Amino acid sequence: MRILMASVGDISTDARVQKEAASLSAAGHSVRVLAFDYTLKRPATRVRAGVEYVLHPFPPRGSPHWKRLAGGARFYLWALARMLASPAGAVHSHNLHFALPLLAVARLRRARFVYDAHELVVHEAGGKAQPLMTRYERIVWTSADAAITTNPSRAARLHDLHGGTEPLVVGNHPVRPAEITPVDLRTSLGIPADRKVLLYQGGFYLENRCFDVAAEALALLPGWHWVIVGFGSEQTIAAIQGMLDRAGVADRATILPPASLEELLDVTAGADLGIIPLANVSLNTYLGDTNKLYEYLMAGIPAVGSDFPEIRRTLLADPAGPLGAVFDPSDPASIAAAVKEVEDALPELRPRAWRAARERYAWQHEEEKLTALYRALTPRGED
């Protein structure tokens, strides 16, 4: 089957889109992905893991607002033209941004339509826009041949909101690697050998990450060094640095540029403990879990995270036993207490996290559900 996917996001950091596309390609489908890439100066086509990526440039983070708006408009019009020119037996919308035009393309092509809700976009809208967004998503939801989301909490919420069949849960789990070679973060960053390494990796989203509270918690953890690896604008990085300065912990924290998806687990494995500092700013965030939670476990390090349903379920309710601890993201003392709770148990928790990731939280398990869904999507006219 020919599958057309589209995503409003930087494809170089979107692990979910890349994994789904690669798995469907490996299952024998022909997959084309429309997306943008911050590093491009002009449109380009690349083939990776059997997937054709048709990419457009986009103004990088930190660009003036007008430039981002203009870039967004150009990308949207470019993507619409590419959608209409792409043959497809199935159309796969990553999130809501392109869902209606992709639905129209699916109907025009007499193709199947799959809606993949990475986030609870309706709940991010808020205010007067929320009823309109709800109606918009309900049209997409009720028109889809299949719906997918990231975890059981979001699946239940989407089902309650829109009815119909419960969506398939395809978790944001990393690919189980053949091997991991930990990066020696202590040596490369000059961290004293007797100091433990706390790691954050991912996007620097200040609106829903409690970096400020975590910096204050670090002040209560003199035996720890915080390594922050990820992507954000220069202004965002400067804001995080300011938080570290105000908390008096700048000498025990290091901000690094993002690691490639191929190097990420090696970098992660060089830490002692991962942190998921989600702020309780929306239902979407509260019911989220994020890729990094499972990437920490796959790298063989336990984690501490905000006491939200999916993070609690993964870290505290695993069949093998706890894989970390949870905290109140508004309270520095709570974050520090969670780190201290885990600290003495690290020798026991590390191998447990390693095994749990391979047995329960690997992409190889999730792709089986995704490919089975597509096997059941018979071409229109054959059902």
Domain count for the chain: 2
Q: Are 287 and 157 in contact (CB under 8 A)?
A: yes
80 within domain boundaries: yes
For the chain, what percentages of helix, strand and coil (3-state, to nearest 5) are there? 45, 20, 35
User: How many residues are given for the chain?
Assistant: 383
* Exposure class string for 227-255: b at 16+ Cβ within 10 A, else e: bbbbbbeeebbeebeebbeebebbebbbb
Taking residues 46-73, what's their average pLDDT? 88
Same domain? 105 vs 248: no
What is the rounded average pLDDT for all residues in the chain?
93
According to the model, what pLDDT value does residue 188 have?
95
Q: Is the dihedral of CA 122, 128, 131, 132 positive or negative?
A: negative
According to the model, what pLDDT value does residue 129 have?
74
Same domain? 339 vs 286: yes
Same domain? 157 vs 215: no
Same domain? 371 vs 339: no
According to the model, what pLDDT value does residue 71 have?
86
Longest dimension (CA), the chain: 66
**125: pLDDT confidence band, cut at 50, 70 and 90?**
low
Same domain? 168 vs 260: no
* Cα(332)–Cα(60) distance, integer angstroms: 33
pLDDT, one tens digit per residue, over 313-366 is 999 999 999 999 999 999 999 999 999 999 999 999 999 999 999 999 999 999
Same domain? 167 vs 31: yes
383 within domain boundaries: no
Could you write out the three-class secondary structure of 173-224? CCCCCCCCCCCCHHHHHCCCCCCEEEEEEEECCCCCECHHHHHHHHCCCCCE
User: In which domain, by residue range, is 23 found?
Assistant: 2-172+363-376
- Is residue 142 classed as helix, strand or coil in its secondary structure? helix
Does residue 381 register a pLDDT over 90?
A: no
* Cα(145)–Cα(79) distance, integer angstroms: 22
According to the model, what pLDDT value does residue 55 have?
94
According to the model, what pLDDT value does residue 131 have?
84
Identify the CATH number of the domain in which residue 314 sits.
3.40.50.2000
179 within domain boundaries: no
Same domain? 356 vs 369: no
Same domain? 163 vs 301: no
Give the strands of the sheet with 90-94, arranged side by side.
44-48, 51-57, 30-37, 2-10, 90-94, 112-117, 146-149, 168-169
Does residue 66 register a pLDDT over 80?
A: yes
Same domain? 86 vs 141: yes
Same domain? 64 vs 203: no
Percent pLDDT > 70 in the chain is 98
* Cα(94)–Cα(115) distance, integer angstroms: 7
* Cα(202)–Cα(183) distance, integer angstroms: 17
**383: pLDDT confidence band, cut at 50, 70 and 90?**
very low
94 within domain boundaries: yes
178 within domain boundaries: no
Give the Cβ contact number of residue 142 at 10 Å: 12
According to the model, what pLDDT value does residue 126 have?
65
177 within domain boundaries: no
180 within domain boundaries: no
According to the model, what pLDDT value does residue 361 have?
96
Taking residues 183-191, what's their average pLDDT? 96
Same domain? 144 vs 194: no
Does residue 89 register a pLDDT over 80?
A: yes
Q: Are 211 and 240 in contact (CB under 8 A)?
A: yes
222 within domain boundaries: yes
**Which residues contact residue 202 at a Cβ distance below 8 angstroms, ignoring those fewer than 6 apart?**
229, 230, 290, 291, 292
* Cα(95)–Cα(8) distance, integer angstroms: 8
* Cα(55)–Cα(75) distance, integer angstroms: 9
DSSP assignment letter at 278: B
Does residue 53 register a pLDDT over 60?
A: yes
**Which of 226, 274, 275, 277 is closest to 250 using CA atoms?**
226
* Cα(363)–Cα(303) distance, integer angstroms: 19
Same domain? 240 vs 273: yes
pLDDT, one tens digit per residue, over 223-244 is 999 999 998 888 999 999 999 9
Give the strands of the sheet with 273-276, arranged side by side.
253-256, 224-231, 196-203, 273-276, 303-306, 324-327
pLDDT, one tens digit per residue, over 9-34 is 888 888 899 999 999 999 999 999 99
Does residue 303 register a pLDDT over 90?
A: yes
Give the Cβ contact number of residue 129 at 10 Å: 12
> DSSP for 12-67?
GG-HHHHHHHHHHHHTT-EEEEEEEETT-SS-EEEEETTEEEEEEE-PPTTS-HHH
pLDDT, one tens digit per residue, over 267-276 is 999 999 999 9
According to the model, what pLDDT value does residue 380 have?
67
